[in-house]
Amino acid sequence: MVEKQKRKSIPVLPWMRSPVDVSLFEECPLEILPSLDPRLKAALQNMGISSLFPVQLAVWQEAIGPGSFERDLCINSPTGSGKTLAYALPIVQMLSSRTVKCLRALVVLPTRDLALQVKEVFAAIAPAVGLSVGLAVGQSSIADEIAGLIKRPKLEAGICYDPEDFSVQLQSSVDILVATPGRLMDHINFTKGFTLQHLCYLVIDETDRLLRESYQSWLPTVLQLTHVDDENIIFPSYTSLPCSAGFLKTIRRFGIERGFKGACYPRFSKMVLSATLTQDPGKLAQLDLHRPLFLTTGKRRYKLPEKLESYMTICESKLKPLYLVALLQSLGGEKCIVFTSSVESTHRLCTLLNFFDDLQLKIKEYSGLQRQSLRSKTLNAFRGGEIQVLVSSDAMTRGMDVEGVRNVINYDMPAFIKTYIHRAGRTARAGQSGRCFTLLSKDGVRRFKKLLQKADNDSCPEHSLPSSSIELLQPTYVSALEKLKEKVESERSRKSTIMSSRVGKRKDTNSNEKS
Ligand SMILES: Nc1ncnc2c1ncn2[C@@H]1O[C@H](COP(=O)(O)OP(=O)(O)OP(=O)(O)O)[C@@H](O)[C@H]1O
């Protein structure tokens, strides 16, 4: 009760009370988009893009032209509304006139798959204006990653590059870096020549998710490294920071920017984005925003995509797997993501579904329990259409953009509206239609309806399935459950064998060391 009152009483920051309403914007054909570099126009057309979405136009107006990036931008826009290009396009256009290559834009995302996806968007437009994009996500070895990010000096024949030699000037190979916080911190702390000193743009995508986790204080570190210290502009002392190499200094020029006397120029600009942007002043304060401008869609805090239809499928808890199978059958092989509440239930459910021989669908799991390489392989197969159903934990909830996902199924009801928004948002993207089904017991209906009201959704009809189809599945279900039990047993014993052999090995090593 006290907690509830506390939550309600959090004040909204004054700048959030007078936002730019993105719903008042319309799509803008590239032909009439002011100031667009023709090379970027051609690159966009190659991507099949002929007009900018409303949020992209709204950001473009703030970012390009006379008032360019005067204020930091806080963007709250529904899933699938095109937030990636909303920041990628103006950044690339603004950097297109740069003469010296150095790291000027940093985009931080919470997961590796998301970072890869965003890198692809930059990679589709940046080369058109001579810019390079790098990735720091730990996909390859740190040495390979460094080789892609830092240019090695050209030395005379016979002389070897000595990485310990500080007199050697190292340069960035990339203008734009897309990173996850962990790998970003590795480069900040240990990669020689890696510097944020020239950074002009910082994008924090999925901000509310990134603010929840501190990952070795990545945010304060980045903000500190990019902070302009007018007392000591050439060699600020960041003695509290772990980097010892002395590369970390901000040398962006000082100047008088319109309306911001004393601010550096070009101003270091931030863009923070989410479909569920936090309004918590305490959390927003961590971002150290400069005269922030809030862009949001409509009056409500949360908004679902226009063409998303939400449905409830009510069933007894113990029959849920049967209803899921019947629902998947009725969807006739359309691409679908099934969300569960944990990595364990993802694994169990996926295994069970694969024992339903009549289900003529390729079904795979995607969860944080799996190795990254396996996850990426599964995702590619899903993208390519070789897999029709992905059973996923919340690892897939945010940001992932897979074309042609027509349906999302909440096998387990999400506990929070934010989770519902991000899960449902894997469909009905880019103005397409999509459906989100939630399997519920009768007891859960009231709670679920209340949850949806937070997203201004009063329409959630029941989607019922014929009882005959459920009955028909009963015999297969019984045998599938048996097989599942056996599989779980065999996995458990395999795991314990591996564990005990590891313990045995450790004991051997210890006794060898002692002897
Ligand atoms: N102007 C455009 N015209 C056509 N398609 C577009 C345009 N802009 C973006 N898209 C497509 O829309 C889809 C959604 O874009 P994006 O992933 O950026 O959405 P998002 O708002 O970041 O969603 P989420 O909140 O789920 O991360 C992508 O497939 C992208 O290629």
The ipTM of this complex is: 0.99
71 and 22 within one domain: yes
C-alpha torsion 226→232→234→240, nearest 10: -50
Ligand 1 pocket member 53 (CB < 6 A): yes
Structure tokens at 380: 């590619």
| pLDDT given for residue 262 in this prediction | 47
Question: How many angstroms separate the CA atoms of 167 and 456, rounded?
Answer: 60
Residue 260 banded pLDDT, cuts 50, 70, 90: very low
**Does residue 504 lie in a domain region?**
no
CATH code at 413?
3.40.50.300
| Shared-domain flag, residues 287 and 358 | no
Residue 176: inside a domain: yes
Q: Is 60 exceeded by the pLDDT of residue 161? A: no
Q: Do 359 and 401 belong to one domain?
A: yes
Could you tell me how far CA 353 lies from the centroid of its own chain? Answer: 28
Is residue 161 assigned to a domain? no
8 within a domain of the structure (yes/no): no
pLDDT of amino acid 505: 64
Task: Indicate whether 211 and 340 sit together in one domain.
Answer: no
- Give percent of the chain above pLDDT 90: 68
Q: Does residue 312 share a domain with residue 291?
A: no
Do 203 and 324 lie in a common domain?
no
Q: What is the pLDDT of residue 247?
A: 39
Length of the chain: 515
Q: Average pLDDT in the 452-481 region? A: 91
Q: Tokens 């949020």 correspond to what residue?
A: 55
pLDDT level of residue 44 (50, 70, 90 thresholds): very high
Instruction: Specify whether 448 is located in the same domain as 345.
Output: yes
CB of 312 closer than 8 Å to CB of 445: yes
- pLDDT on residue 234: 39
pLDDT tens-digit profile of 335-373? 999 999 999 999 999 999 999 988 889 999 999 888 888
What is the per-residue pLDDT for 244? 37
User: Based on C-alpha coordinates, what's the Rg of the chain?
Assistant: 26
269 pLDDT above the threshold of 80: yes
Which pLDDT band, with edges at 50, 70 and 90, does 228 fall under?
A: low
- Band the pLDDT of 494: cuts 50, 70, 90: confident
- 329 shares its domain with 373: yes
**Backbone angles phi and psi of 204, in degrees to 5:** -115, 100
Tokens of 368: 């944080």
Report yes or no on 51 lying in a domain.
Answer: yes
The pLDDT of residue 255 is: 39
- pLDDT tens digits for range 186-209: 999 999 999 999 999 999 999 999
213: Cβ–Cβ under 8 A, 6 or more apart, which residues?
Answer: 110, 181
Predicted pLDDT of residue 496: 78
285 & 215 share domain: yes
> What's the mean per-residue pLDDT of the chain?
86
φ, ψ for residue 237, nearest 5 deg: -95, 115
Q: For residue 124, how far is its CA from the centre of ligand 1 (angstroms)? A: 14
- Between the ranges 153-157, 225-229, 284-288, 491-495, where is the mean pLDDT highest? 284-288
Residue with the two structure tokens 């810019």 = 131
Residue 480 lies in domain: 308-491
User: Whose Cα sits closest to atom 27 in ligand 1?
Assistant: 399
Ligand 1 neighbour 52 (Cβ under 6 A):
yes
Q: Give per-residue burial for 358-378: e unless 16+ CB within 10 Å, then b.
A: ebebebbbbbeebeeeebbeb
The domain tally of the chain equals 2
CA distance 277 to 13: 13
What's the Cα-to-Cα distance from 60 to each of 35, 54, 141, 175, 359, rounded to whole Å?
Answer: 10, 10, 36, 20, 47
- pLDDT band at 513, cuts 50/70/90? low
In a domain, 256, yes or no: no
Ligand 1 pocket check for 365: Cβ under 6 Å: no
Q: Report the C-alpha gap between 410 and 340 in whole angstroms.
A: 7
Q: Do 182 and 61 fall within a single domain?
A: yes
Task: Tell me, using a 6 A CB cutoff, whether residue 256 lines ligand 1.
Answer: no
256 pLDDT higher than 90? no
What mean pLDDT is predicted for residues 386-413?
93
Q: How distant, in Å, are the alpha carbons of 117, 149, 365, 367 from that of 376? A: 11, 22, 11, 11
Q: 305 CB less than 6 Å from ligand 1? A: no
325 shares its domain with 463: yes
Quick check: CB of 435 below 6 Å from ligand 1? no
